[in-house]
Chains A and B, each alone.
Chain A
Amino acid sequence: MNPTPFNASASAQTPFTQGLPGPWTAIFVAVALAIYPLVMSALDQAFYVNLGSRVLIFALAASALNLALGYGGMISLGHAAFLGIGGYVVAVLANNGVYSAWLSFPLAIGLAAATALLIGVVSLRTKGVYFIMITLAFAQVFYYLAISLPEFGGDDGLQLARRSSVPGLDLSSALSFYFFVLFTAGLAFVLLYRLVASRFGRAIVAIRENERRMAAIGYPVFRLKLAAFALSGGLCGLAGALLANASTSITPHTLTWHQSGLLIVMVILGGSGYFWGGLTGAAVYLILEETISDHTEHWNLVLGALLLFIVMAAPNGVMSLRQHLAKRVGGARGHGTAPLAATSHEGEAK
């Protein structure tokens, strides 16, 4: 049993290995994100600390969508529903005097995941455009529910008197809230990494690549997709709970299909199916939006043109650029995290 010697094509990046972060990248990102608010508050720029929190929250939401859309190939135009559910759970509980994050956050995640499970059971029986339309339709149901129920504040949404309470933490300052978001989103990113790097993650990617064959070799395709969809919805619910806390309010706007579309734009912009795709997409979008709207009323026009330019320059998202460049420089580097890398190493030694 002599595996093939390590050669040029053996190190090729496949959908299993592309975009999986190495440990150093992860550490660098974590450190950079931890230093950023300290620098900003040293410069007395609380505004940018808040922007950072928003970027992290949308990074989490977009990454959650990326699990379904990028990895699983399920183009959901309904993820605003899960974001909104997470936010409304926190807001409704707060309006009833319950501020404990220990209660509201798990409930937000659980309810969003359960909703995703139910929506998934119905919509995952369809494919392509039909799947997009059905997820959109379900999300619209929640939008109309929110604007028509007085308990949910109708068109105005709900205000929170203060942020959720976490024992030993005061989330009222921009800085402490940022670190709370960073910690929560960080945990979610670790979970997401383990999901996409596990056998489950590989099965999901392979279903995206060839669903028919996956069924033929014995995978319960429907259940696997459903699990990915529910996990994606649950994590989006967590982002929603954070979002309601960030602005101490939630409005039905969070549930609109624009919001779902925005998440898709972030995923595609950053790199669908790339681990850092959601983070990159959210950061690029929100920072561009913020800086351009400082200068002109017509920021939408400029932003649109810029996004168009980015998508044309990097059709597979910003994160795919690195791979492109690496290829140009000469041969993609192998990753330590590559599945079945044992063979390559064995081959290398021979």
Chain B
Amino acid sequence: MSQIILEVDNLVKRFGGLVATDHCTLEVKAGEIHALIGPNGAGKTTLLAQLSGELPSDSGRILFEGKDITALPIHKRVAAGIARSYQITTLFPKLTVLENLALSVQARTGHSFDFLGTVTDETDLLDGALQTAERIGLTDVLNHVVGTLSHGRQRQLELGMAIACKPRLLLLDEPMAGTDPEESQRMGDLLNTLREDHTIVLVEHDMDAVFRLADRISVLVSGRVISSGTADQIRNDPLVIGAYLGDEESDHSGA
């Protein structure tokens, strides 16, 4: 099929005696939605933090588009084309939606060390922010202070902050966390529209959403990928059923 955009090779992260990421190996193809599932404490969020650069890795390699990015700091990875969203909404609650998005755009367009150019021409920031707002469906609340928005809308903005960086690879940590079924549905539709422009690594607990959206799924248990494949392959993999999905899910898939 298409080429590999992200390759994780024997990646390790230790916290003292605990091995959170245990020689993890993973391949993500360009253009796919690749879901990362697994029981609580499997190390999904740790792996995501290693991919984004927030946590340094103890050993192993991360290759993005063929280049070794294991040692790059976060901002260089963003510049290279990787951006993440958070499970716990991490926004600028006192700023407006527009200001939030404009910050993401500004990071990409540079000039943050432009000390003296008092910004008269904001069109580049404004255009980028508006474009993203339209994409995530927040055009009606552009000038609202983020802290006053509903949780569902903050989740949309959480995703928007990452999209505004124009990454080729999006790392999404439970975008549906804490949303009601309707919001979750809307978020799923939104993610579906993103596949044209972004490869997505999706960490998510909502199994319905995962099986609906993901092209391929990797199952992480105790910091290792125990299985990778399409939704059907994962549903019927005895190893996965034993370790994670359980009988209920296998019944479900049989129906």
Contact = CB atoms under 8 A, between A and B. Distances in A.
Given A216-B52, A216-B74, A198 B119 contact: yes
Contacts of A347: 143
B contact residues, range: 35 or more
A227 B86 contact: no
A216 B54 contact: yes
A2 B198 CA distance: 26
B170 to A, nearest CB: 12
Nearest to B164: A217
B32 interface: no
Main SS at interface, chain A: helix
Given A216-B90, A218-B75, A199 B111 contact: yes
Given A10-B143, A343-B142, A194 B126 contact: no
Contact of B95 (A16, A218, A342): A16
Contacts of A305: none
B122 A339 contact: yes
Interface string B136-155: 00011111110010000000
Contacts of B164: 217
Contacts, number: 150
Contact of B142 (A4, A12, A15, A223): A4
Given A12-B96, A212-B90, A218-B74, A199 B119 contact: yes
A4 B74 contact: no
B143 A218 contact: no
A42 interface: no
A109 to B, nearest CB: 15
Interface string A53-94: 000000000000000000000000000000000000000000
Contacts of B78: 216-218
Contact of B94 (A15, A200, A212, A219): A15
Interface of A: 1-4, 6-7, 9-10, 12, 14-16, 191, 193-195, 197-200, 202-203, 206, 209-210, 212-221, 223-224, 227, 231, 339-340, 342-344, 347
Interface of B: 52, 54, 73-75, 78-79, 83-84, 86, 90-96, 98-99, 102-104, 106-108, 111-119, 122-123, 125-126, 129-130, 134, 139-145, 148, 161-162, 164-165
6 contacts: A1-B130, A14-B95, A199-B111, A206-B103, A213-B86, A217-B78
